[in-house]
């Protein structure tokens, strides 16, 4: 009697490929939807303007804003992450973003770029901005306590910095911020609410 062998359907079958492709398209659609919602929310909160095509056209960045008491235009780039590192929300900040943001801000004749990040399924947004940029326009965030805020160092050859969600948003009822050292450049890492307060104060 001749044996009949049934070949399993390979994972690369047309049906399986279509299923995986549809799933990928749905994930991409949701990510674009979430990114647009974030840009709209941040622009509204800071009284800024969303750029057409999220900076893919002649206008760079995701949001442009003009703080009335801080003369000049500012460019905001929005990024979001759903990544978890040992259960803690984490943003994989690619170091190549930084020179690109500075270049785009210069092209837009903006004072400097501001990176706003959002951790998926976590309330609130966070700002990363170069310390010298804020200092040159006379903005000096108040320290949380008599000691300097903790500095997180990313001065390595790694192509990315893993920015984890801080365990506390506030300390001693004062606005939260810490410092990031990325390739020997210091950055403020603060809540969007605190950033708005210090940029709009006179």
Identify the three-state secondary structure at position 24: helix
CA dist 93 and 78 (Å) reads 12
Note the pLDDT tens digit of each residue in 9-44: 555 677 777 777 667 776 667 768 888 999 999 999
Q: What percent of the chain has pLDDT over 90?
A: 53
pLDDT at 10: 59
- pLDDT tier at 145, thresholds 50, 70, 90: low
- pLDDT tier at 180, thresholds 50, 70, 90: very high
DSSP state letter for 120: T
pLDDT at 173: 46
pLDDT at 150: 76
pLDDT at 14: 75
| Domain boundaries defined on the chain | 14-200
Chain-wide mean pLDDT for the chain? 83
pLDDT higher for 148 or 94?
94
Tally of residues, the chain: 202
**CA separation (Å) from 168 to 24, 92, 134, 172?**
35, 20, 23, 10
Q: Hey, which residues does 178 pair with through a beta bridge?
A: 189
Q: What percent of the chain has pLDDT over 70?
A: 78
pLDDT higher for 22 or 50?
50
CB 26 within 8 A of CB 19: no
Note the pLDDT tens digit of each residue in 83-94: 999 999 999 999
- Please give the model's pTM, rounded to 2 decimal places: 0.82
pLDDT higher for 126 or 178?
126
């Amino acid at each position: 009697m001749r044996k009949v062998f049934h070949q399993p359907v390979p994972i690369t079958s047309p049906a399986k490929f279509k299923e995986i492709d549809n799933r990928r398209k749905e994930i991409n659609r949701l990510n674009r939807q979430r990114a647009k919602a974030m840009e709209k929310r941040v622009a509204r909160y800071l009284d800024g303007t969303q750029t057409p095509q999220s900076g893919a056209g002649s206008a760079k960045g995701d949001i442009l804003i003009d703080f009335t008491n801080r003369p000049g235009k500012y460019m905001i780039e929005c990024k979001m992450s759903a990544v978890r590192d040992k259960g803690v929300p984490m943003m994989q900040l690619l170091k190549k973003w930084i020179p690109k943001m500075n270049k785009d801000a210069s092209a837009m004749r903006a004072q400097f770029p501001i990176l706003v990040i959002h951790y998926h399924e976590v309330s609130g947004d966070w700002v990363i901005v170069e310390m010298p940029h804020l200092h040159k326009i006379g903005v000096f965030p108040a320290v949380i306590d008599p000691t300097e805020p903790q500095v997180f160092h990313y001065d390595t050859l790694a192509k990315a910095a893993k920015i984890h969600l801080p365990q506390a948003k506030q300390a001693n009822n004062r606005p939260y911020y810490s410092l990031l050292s990325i390739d020997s450049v210091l950055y403020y890492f603060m809540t969007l609410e605190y950033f708005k307060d210090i940029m709009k104060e006179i």
